[in-house]
C-alpha cells in the first residue's frame, strides 16, 4: 500500500459539501508501518486475523492488532468495545456502553490515543473516552504496549493507534455499505447503524480519494438505584458506643434515565504520488458522540433534620420518637442496613442534558526520498470539545412540615436490590409514627424549590481544546559493526490549549415568586410511567422534555432567568511540548535490537480565578520541566515461527488540564488554600516486558509474557506547604499556608502476566478427508491478563500511609470467543469478564484508633461481564446478512464504597438485538 495526498483546500470543500461540521484531522499509517491490504476470500474472520497477525509479527515493539473486518463481526459499535477483545485490555462501561480503557491494569489516563500515528488529546482531556470514536472509521487498531523513541513519551501503559482507511487499500473503485436495525429490550427502544465507504483512484492510479461516513443511534432506559454517601461517627450524628464501625447512608436515590445516544464518524482522504520518491497526503476526520439524557431523579434525604444521638448506650425502654431517627440505633431497632426514617425529605430534579463530544482532526504531510534519506513530515490541527450543555433542569423538594414528608422504610440487606417503601408520617404532640402506605410519590407535596434555592436553570458550557502539531522524521539505512542498521531521527512540536466556557442562567424560588412565575411538576409532567423493570417501591410519571425546555426558554426570554457568575469554573491551561529523538534498529542474524532516547521539554501556563474567600481575581502561573525517555527492545527469532521480545521502557503521564488550573482560594483564618495544583508533575514509570510469541502457520497464534512497572510521583490528594507567592496580596504572605490538592508523592508497582491464543481446526484438518468438512469450521480465541498492583497513599491528617491497588487495575481479566466459519456462514460467541477494580481513592480518618472512611472512602467497581453473539451469512459476493445480540447476560454495573458490604450504585441496561445487510461493490 502507498500513502500519498492532495491539498487541504480540496478536502475542506468536500467536507463542507458532505455537511461535516467542525474542522479537520488525521494521517499516516500505524506505528511507522504500512497497513496491509486485506483481500476477503470467503473466510473474513480468518483473513482479517491473518492480516492483523502480519502487522503484529513485523512490529519492532510489542503490539496487539485487530483488523476492521474482525471488529465488524461483533456488535462493537465504538473503539472501546473493539479493543476490549484484545489481550491486556479491560474496559470501563458507562450505562452499559464501553467507554474507558485500562491497558494492562493501568489508569485510563495512562493510555494515549492516536489517529494514523498522530497523538491527540481526547475531548475529556488525558482520560480518553473511546466511546466517542466509532469503530467503523478504523481499518486497523494497533495497541502498542511498549513504545519506541519515535512515539510520544506521554504514556505509561501504551498507545492505541486507530489506523483509518486509505484509498490505496483497494484497487480501483470501491464501495461498501451496511445498514442495521434493532431493538433494545429495556424500555423497548430502537437501535440503528449505518456506514458507507467509497474510494477510487485517478491519474493512472497516482491519486486516491476516499470518503467514509457512519452513524449509530440507540434509544434506551436504565434500571438504577444509588445509596450514598455513607457517613461514619465523624458526621456528628451517631455517637453511641461502637459508632466507628457503623456507616449510615445519608441518602437513597433512583435516577430514571431515558437516553438517546448517537455516534457519528466521517473521514475524507486524498493521497497523491508525485513520483516514486515523493508522496503527499491530506486527511480530515470527524468523530462525534451525542448523549441526550432525560433524567427523573428522586432522592430520599435520610439525614435532613436529624438530631445528634448522644454518646450513651440505648435505654432499656425505647424513648418516644421525636426526631427522624436517622443514624440512631435506638430508634425502632435501626441499623445501617435496615430501618425506618420518620419525615425524610424528598428532593427531586428533572434534567435534560444535551451532551456533544467531538474530535475534529486534520493532517497534511508528505514522504520523500532524498539521497539516502527517507523524510516524513506532518502538520496537524485538532479541535475537540467536551460538551456540558443542560437545556433545562428543574428542582423540587419536600416542604419543611414533617407531616407532609414521607416515612421511609429502607432495606439495604440485599446488595443487588436496595429498596425503600413510603408511608405517611403521623405527628402527635411531637411524637412521630408511621402512617398509611403511599404508592404514588406525587401524593406527597414536592413543590419547586422556594426561597434562595435554585428552582430552574439552563447551562451552555463545555471544555474545548485546540492543538497544533508539527512532526518531522528522517531515516536511512547504513552498515555498522558488520550489520545493517536503520537510523532514525526526528522532532515534534505541539501546543495545546484547553479551557472551560460556561453560560449559566437560573432563577431561585424567590425570584420566580417575585415575577409571578412559580410552577409545579404538573407543568412538565407527562402520563408515561416508569419504562424499566426495577421494583422502585413507588410509582411516578416522567417529565416532558419539550414542556420543560419551553418553560426554561420562556423564563429566559422574560428575563426571569439571569446570568450567573461562573468565574469559579473558568480555567485556561496551555502546554507546549518540544521533543527530539534518536533511535537505531540493528538487524542481526537472530533478530533485531531497537534502542534510543527521546527528550521532551514541556512548558505549562494556566489561568483561573482565585483569591481570598469571595474576593477573587484572575491568577496566572507558569512552570516547565524536561523529561528523558530511554528505551531498548530486543526481538529474538528462535525460528521462522517463534519470537522472544524483551523491552525496557520509560514513560510519564502528565496531569490533566483541570488538575493544573490555579483556581486557588485562601482562608486567612485557617491559613489554608484549596484548588488545583499548577506545580503538579507527570506520574512516571520504568518498565520491563518479556514475551514469547508463536505464529503457528497458517493463522494460529500463541503468546505469553510478563511485565513490570516501577511507579513514582503518583498523584494523590495531599496537604502541604503552598510555597508560592501567587496569593501574596493585601500585605499578607500566604506562601506558608497549607494547600490541599492533588500532589505527586505516591509510589508503587504494577506486576502482570498475559497469555493469548487463537486457533482454528481447519489449520490442522483441512487435508484430512476422514473428518467431516463442517467440523473444520470451528475455532477459538482466548486471552487472560493477571495483575498485582500496589501504590502507597501518603500519610495525611493523622491517617498513616496506606497501600491500595492501582486505579483501574483488575486482578484478573479475560476474553473467550468461540468461532465458526464455513460455507459462507460465520458465527462468534464472545465473553468478557474482569474482576473488581478501584475507581478512585477517598478520604479516611482515625476514630478510636480505627482508620475509617470519612464518607465513601475508596470507590470500586465490582466484577463485570458481557456475552455477545454475532452471526453472518454471505448471500453472494456482494451481499451479506448480519444478526447480533449484545449483553446477553444483562449483568448490572455495580459500585461499592470501601467494602462490598456498602454498595453505592446498581444499574442495569438490558439486552439488544440488531439485524442488517451489507453491500460491497
pLDDT (tens digit, 9 = 90+) per residue, 657-676? 999 999 999 999 999 999 99
Quote the cell numbers at residue 202: 485517478
Residue with the bigger pLDDT between 844 and 465: it is 465
Average pLDDT, the chain: 90
Quote the cell numbers at residue 718: 495531599
- Beta bridge partner(s), residue 353: 293, 390
Q: Sorting pLDDT into bands at 50, 70 and 90, what band is 543? A: very high
pLDDT attached to residue 288: 96
Grid-cell match 410511567, residue found: 529
Grid-cell match 461498501, residue found: 176
Q: Sorting pLDDT into bands at 50, 70 and 90, what band is 234? A: low
Quote the cell numbers at residue 589: 542474524
Torsional sign, CA 541, 547, 553, 555:
negative
pLDDT attached to residue 14: 32
In the chain, count H helices and then E strands: 7, 51
CA angle 906, 79, 69 (to 5 degrees): 125
Q: Mean pLDDT highest for which of 172-181, 308-317, 764-773?
A: 172-181
12, pLDDT greater than 80: no
pLDDT attached to residue 36: 41
Torsional sign, CA 504, 510, 514, 516:
positive
> What's the Cα-to-Cα distance from 676 to each of 58, 739, 839, 908, rounded to whole Å?
44, 9, 20, 35
HSE-up of 275 (CA within 13 Å, CB side)? 3
Q: Sorting pLDDT into bands at 50, 70 and 90, what band is 317? A: confident
Q: Sorting pLDDT into bands at 50, 70 and 90, what band is 47? A: confident
**Backbone φ and ψ of 765, nearest 5°:** -110, 5
CA distance 597 to 602: 16
Specify the DSSP class assigned to residue 806.
P
Q: Sorting pLDDT into bands at 50, 70 and 90, what band is 50? A: confident
Q: Sorting pLDDT into bands at 50, 70 and 90, what band is 690? A: very high
Sequence-separated (6 or more) residues with CB below 8 Å from residue 397: 345, 346, 347, 348, 446, 447, 449, 453
Residue with the bigger pLDDT between 840 and 44: it is 840
- How far is Cα of residue 337 from the mean position of the Cα atoms in its chain? 32
Residue 248: name the closest of 889, 877, 856 by CA: 856
CA distance 437 to 472: 72
- Beta bridge partner(s), residue 605: 574, 622
Q: Would you say 862 and 897 are in contact if contact means Cβ atoms under 8 Å apart? A: no
pLDDT attached to residue 795: 85
CA distance 644 to 590: 11
pLDDT in tens, 387-405: 999 999 999 999 999 999 9
pLDDT in tens, 796-822: 878 899 999 999 999 999 999 999 999
CA distance 868 to 881: 17
838, pLDDT greater than 70: yes
CA distance 129 to 100: 5
Ordered DSSP codes for 508-557:
EHHHHHHTT----GGGTEEEEE--S----SSB-EEEPHHHHHHHHHHHHH
pLDDT attached to residue 768: 82
Quote the cell numbers at residue 573: 491551561
CA distance 379 to 390: 36
Quote the cell numbers at residue 687: 518498565
Q: Could you tell me where the DSSP H helices lie in 677-828? A: 762-765
Quote the cell numbers at residue 690: 518479556
CA distance 596 to 630: 6
CA distance 208 to 166: 8
Other C-beta atoms closer than 10 Å to the C-beta of 590 total 12
> What's the Cα-to-Cα distance from 632 to each of 30, 130, 563, 646, 757, rounded to whole Å?
20, 29, 56, 8, 26
Q: Sorting pLDDT into bands at 50, 70 and 90, what band is 73? A: low
Torsion (CA) 734, 740, 745, 748 in degrees, nearest 10: 180
**Backbone φ and ψ of 81, nearest 5°:** -55, -45
Q: Would you say 343 and 305 are in contact if contact means Cβ atoms under 8 Å apart? A: yes
CA distance 59 to 32: 9
CA distance 760 to 700: 7
Grid-cell match 467503523, residue found: 136
pLDDT attached to residue 38: 39
Q: Mean pLDDT highest for which of 244-253, 682-691, 743-752?
A: 682-691
Residue with the bigger pLDDT between 34 and 418: it is 418
State the average pLDDT over residues 849-856.
89
Sequence-separated (6 or more) residues with CB below 8 Å from residue 551: 392, 394, 456, 519, 523, 524
pLDDT attached to residue 10: 29
Residues in the chain: 921
> What's the Cα-to-Cα distance from 279 to each of 272, 284, 368, 472, 488, rounded to whole Å?
6, 17, 6, 15, 19
Q: Sorting pLDDT into bands at 50, 70 and 90, what band is 33? A: very low
CA distance 691 to 686: 17
Q: Sorting pLDDT into bands at 50, 70 and 90, what band is 596? A: very high
17, pLDDT greater than 60: no
Q: Sorting pLDDT into bands at 50, 70 and 90, what band is 74? A: low
CA distance 381 to 370: 27
40, pLDDT greater than 80: no
Q: Would you say 160 and 196 are in contact if contact means Cβ atoms under 8 Å apart? A: no
pLDDT attached to residue 92: 94
Q: Would you say 152 and 117 are in contact if contact means Cβ atoms under 8 Å apart? A: no
pLDDT attached to residue 70: 65
Q: Would you say 12 and 6 are in contact if contact means Cβ atoms under 8 Å apart? A: no
608, pLDDT greater than 90: yes
Buried b (16+ CB within 10 A) or exposed e, 907-920: bbbbbbbbebebee
CA distance 446 to 432: 20
Residue with the bigger pLDDT between 443 and 746: it is 443
Query: Strands 501-508, 562-563: parallel, antiparallel or unpaired by DSSP?
Result: antiparallel
Amino acid at each position: 500500500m502507498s500513502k500519498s495526498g492532495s491539498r487541504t483546500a480540496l478536502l475542506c470543500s468536500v467536507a463542507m459539501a458532505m455537511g461535516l461540521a467542525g474542522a479537520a484531522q488525521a494521517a499516516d499509517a500505524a506505528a511507522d508501518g504500512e497497513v496491509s491490504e486485506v483481500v476477503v476470500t470467503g473466510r473474513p474472520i480468518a483473513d482479517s486475523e491473518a492480516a492483523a497477525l502480519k502487522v503484529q509479527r513485523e512490529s519492532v515493539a510489542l503490539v496487539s492488532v485487530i483488523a476492521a473486518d474482525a471488529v465488524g463481526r461483533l456488535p462493537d459499535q465504538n473503539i472501546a468495545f473493539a479493543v476490549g477483545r484484545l489481550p491486556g485490555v479491560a474496559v470501563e462501561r458507562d450505562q452499559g456502553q464501553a467507554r474507558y480503557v485500562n491497558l494492562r491494569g493501568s489508569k485510563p489516563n495512562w493510555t494515549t490515543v492516536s489517529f494514523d500515528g498522530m497523538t491527540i488529546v481526547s475531548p475529556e482531556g488525558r482520560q480518553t473516552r473511546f466511546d466517542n470514536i466509532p469503530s467503523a472509521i478504523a481499518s486497523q487498531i494497533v495497541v502498542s504496549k511498549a513504545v519506541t523513541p519515535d512515539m510520544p513519551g506521554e504514556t505509561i501503559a501504551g498507545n492505541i493507534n486507530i489506523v483509518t482507511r486509505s484509498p490505496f487499500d483497494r484497487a480501483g473503485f470501491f464501495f461498501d455499505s451496511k445498514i442495521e436495525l434493532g431493538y433494545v429490550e429495556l424500555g423497548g427502544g430502537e437501535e440503528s447503524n449505518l456506514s458507507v465507504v467509497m474510494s477510487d483512484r485517478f491519474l493512472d492510479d497516482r491519486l486516491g480519494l476516499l470518503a467514509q461516513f457512519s452513524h449509530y443511534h440507540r434509544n434506551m432506559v436504565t434500571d438504577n438505584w444509588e445509596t450514598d454517601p455513607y457517613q461514619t461517627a465523624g458526621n456528628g450524628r451517631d455517637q453511641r458506643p461502637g459508632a466507628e464501625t457503623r456507616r449510615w447512608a445519608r441518602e437513597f436515590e433512583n435516577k430514571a434515565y431515558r437516553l438517546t445516544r448517537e455516534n457519528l464518524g466521517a473521514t475524507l482522504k486524498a493521497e497523491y504520488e508525485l513520483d516514486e520518491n515523493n508522496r503527499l497526503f491530506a486527511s480530515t476526520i470527524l468523530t462525534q458522540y451525542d448523549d441526550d439524557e432525560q433524567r427523573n431523579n428522586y432522592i430520599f434525604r435520610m439525614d435532613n433534620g436529624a438530631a445528634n444521638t448522644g454518646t450513651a448506650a440505648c435505654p432499656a425502654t425505647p424513648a418516644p420518637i421525636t426526631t427522624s431517627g436517622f443514624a440512631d440505633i435506638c430508634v425502632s431497632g435501626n441499623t445501617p442496613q435496615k430501618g425506618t426514617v420518620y419525615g425524610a425529605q424528598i428532593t427531586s430534579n428533572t434534567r435534560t442534558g444535551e451532551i456533544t463530544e467531538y474530535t475534529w482532526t486534520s493532517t497534511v504531510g508528505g514522504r520523500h526520498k532524498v539521497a539516502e534519506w527517507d523524510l516524513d513530515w506532518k502538520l496537524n490541527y485538532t479541535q475537540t470539545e467536551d460538551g456540558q450543555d443542560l437545556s433545562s433542569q428543574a428542582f423540587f423538594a419536600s416542604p419543611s412540615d414533617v407531616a407532609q414528608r414521607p416515612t421511609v422504610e429502607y432495606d439495604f440487606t440485599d446488595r443487588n436490590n436496595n429498596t425503600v417503601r413510603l408511608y405517611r408520617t403521623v405527628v402527635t404532640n411531637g411524637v412521630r409514627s408511621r402512617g398509611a402506605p403511599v404508592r404514588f410519590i406525587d401524593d406527597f407535596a414536592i413543590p419547586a424549590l422556594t426561597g434562595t434555592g435554585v428552582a430552574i436553570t439552563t447551562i451552555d458550557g463545555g471544555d474545548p481544546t485546540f492543538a497544533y502539531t508539527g512532526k518531522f522524521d528522517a531515516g536511512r539505512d547504513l552498515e555498522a559493526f558488520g550489520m545493517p542498521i536503520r537510523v532514525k531521527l526526528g522532532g515534534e512540536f505541539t501546543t495545546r490549549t484547553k479551557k472551560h466556557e460556561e453560560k449559566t442562567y437560573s432563577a431561585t424560588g424567590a425570584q420566580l415568586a417575585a415575577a409571578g412565575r412559580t410552577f409545579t411538576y404538573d407543568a412538565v409532567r407527562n402520563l408515561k410511567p416508569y419504562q424499566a423493570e426495577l421494583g422502585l417501591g413507588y410509582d411516578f410519571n416522567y417529565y416532558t422534555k419539550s414542556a420543560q425546555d419551553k418553560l426554561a426558554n420562556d423564563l429566559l426570554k422574560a428575563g426571569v432567568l439571569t446570568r450567573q457568575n461562573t468565574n469559579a469554573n473558568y480555567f485556561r491551561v496551555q502546554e507546549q511540548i518540544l521533543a527530539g529523538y534518536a533511535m537505531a534498529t540493528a538487524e542481526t542474524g537472530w533478530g533485531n535490537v531497537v534502542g534510543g532516547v527521546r527528550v521532551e521539554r514541556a512548558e505549562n501556563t494556566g489561568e483561573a480565578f482565585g483569591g481570598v474567600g469571595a474576593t477573587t481575581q484572575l491568577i496566572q502561573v507558569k512552570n516547565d520541566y524536561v523529561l528523558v525517555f530511554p528505551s531498548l527492545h530486543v526481538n529474538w527469532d528462535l525460528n521462522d515461527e517463534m519470537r522472544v521480545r524483551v523491552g525496557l521502557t520509560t514513560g510519564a503521564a502528565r496531569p490533566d488540564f483541570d488538575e493544573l488550573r490555579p483556581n486557588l482560594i485562601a482562608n486567612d483564618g485557617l491559613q489554608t488554600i484549596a484548588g488545583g495544583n499548577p506545580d503538579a508533575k507527570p506520574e512516571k514509570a520504568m518498565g520491563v516486558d518479556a514475551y514469547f510469541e508463536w505464529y503457528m502457520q497458517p493463522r494460529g497464534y500463541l503468546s505469553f509474557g510478563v511485565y513490570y512497572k516501577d511507579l513514582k510521583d503518583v498523584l494523590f490528594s495531599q496537604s502541604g506547604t503552598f510555597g508560592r507567592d501567587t496569593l501574596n496580596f493585601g500585605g499578607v504572605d500566604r506562601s506558608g499556608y497549607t494547600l490541599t490538592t492533588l500532589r505527586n508523592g505516591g509510589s508503587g508497582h504494577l506486576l502482570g502476566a498475559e497469555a493469548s491464543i487463537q486457533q482454528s481446526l481447519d489449520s490442522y484438518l483441512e487435508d484430512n478427508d476422514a473428518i467431516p468438512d463442517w467440523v473444520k469450521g470451528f475455532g477459538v480465541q482466548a486471552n487472560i491478563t493477571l495483575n498485582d498492583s500496589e501504590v502507597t497513599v501518603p500519610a495525611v491528617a493523622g491517617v498513616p500511609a496506606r497501600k491500595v491497588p492501582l486505579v483501574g487495575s483488575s486482578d484478573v481479566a479475560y476474553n473467550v470467543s468461540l468461532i465458526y466459519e464455513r460455507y459462507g456462514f460465520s458465527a462468534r460467541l464472545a465473553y468478557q469478564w474482569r474482576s473488581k477494580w478501584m475507581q478512585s481513592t477517598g478520604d479516611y480518618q482515625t476514630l478510636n484508633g480505627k482508620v475509617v472512611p470519612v464518607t465513601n472512602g475508596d470507590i470500586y467497581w465490582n466484577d463485570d461481564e458481557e456475552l455477545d453473539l454475532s452471526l453472518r451469512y454471505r448471500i453472494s459476493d456482494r451481499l451479506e446478512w448480519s444478526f447480533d445480540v449484545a449483553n446477553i447476560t444483562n449483568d448490572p454495573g455495580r459500585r461499592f464504597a470501601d467494602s462490598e458490604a456498602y454498595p453505592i450504585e446498581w444499574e442495569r441496561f438490558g439486552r439488544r438485538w440488531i439485524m442488517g445487510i451489507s453491500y460491497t461493490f
